[in-house]
């Protein structure tokens, strides 16, 4: 009887240890990422420029009305609504494609609000990644 009790205690201790290891693995695998945010996929470089402030108040080719608060990008090929991470000068933001347009000398055109948030002026090199939902 005593041997059985010792075996049960050992089995329970092993299950508790295993649960602790699994919990620690989950915590460490998500460290540095806020829960619920999409995972960056790939890493690409490109050139970006700010849209003209005169674009504010107009409807984009994706059907979105640009306001002074809209933080998005225009790209000639990426589908409307594609969520991407943009990194410029050490700052990373999650945004989406809000328009299709060709920008001479750049792959991306940032809305005035996004360009202001990133302090982007002129044509600058950026890094971008697709945002894949968890």
Q: 109: domain CATH number?
A: 2.40.40.10
Tell me: do 68 and 126 sit in the same domain: yes
Tell me: do 73 and 10 sit in the same domain: no
Q: What pLDDT band is residue 103 in, cutting at 50, 70 and 90?
A: confident
The pLDDT of residue 5:
63
Tell me: do 8 and 57 sit in the same domain: no
pTM of the model: 0.69
Tell me: do 48 and 111 sit in the same domain: yes
Q: CA end-to-end span of the chain, whole Å?
A: 49
Q: What pLDDT band is residue 31 in, cutting at 50, 70 and 90?
A: very low
What is the percent of the chain where pLDDT is above 90? 55
Tell me: do 26 and 47 sit in the same domain: no
String of DSSP letters for 62-107: TSPBP-TT---EE-SSSPTT-EEEEEETTEEEEEEEEE---BTTBS
Tell me: do 60 and 8 sit in the same domain: no
The pLDDT of residue 14:
56
Tell me: do 8 and 69 sit in the same domain: no
Q: Using one digit for the tens of pLDDT, what is the confidence trace for 54-74?
A: 888 989 999 999 999 999 999
> Higher-confidence residue: 24 or 84?
84
Q: Give the residue among 67, 60, 127 at the shortest CA–CA distance from 97.
A: 60
Range of the structural domain that residue 69 is part of: 39-132
Query: Domain tally for the chain?
Result: 2
């Amino acid at each position: 009887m005593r041997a059985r009790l010792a075996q049960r205690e050992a089995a329970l201790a092993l299950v508790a240890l295993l649960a602790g290891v699994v919990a620690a693995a989950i915590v460490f695998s998500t460290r540095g990422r806020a829960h619920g945010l999409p995972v960056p996929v790939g890493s690409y470089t490109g050139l970006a420029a700010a849209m003209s402030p005169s674009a504010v108040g107009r409807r984009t080719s994706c059907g979105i009305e640009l306001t002074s608060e809209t933080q998005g990008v225009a790209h000639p090929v990426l589908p409307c609504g594609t969520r991407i991470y943009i990194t410029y000068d050490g700052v990373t933001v999650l945004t989406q494609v809000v328009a299709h347009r060709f920008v001479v000398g750049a792959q991306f055109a940032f809305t005035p609000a996004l360009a202001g948030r990133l302090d982007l002026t002129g044509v600058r090199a950026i890094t971008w990644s697709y945002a894949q939902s968890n």
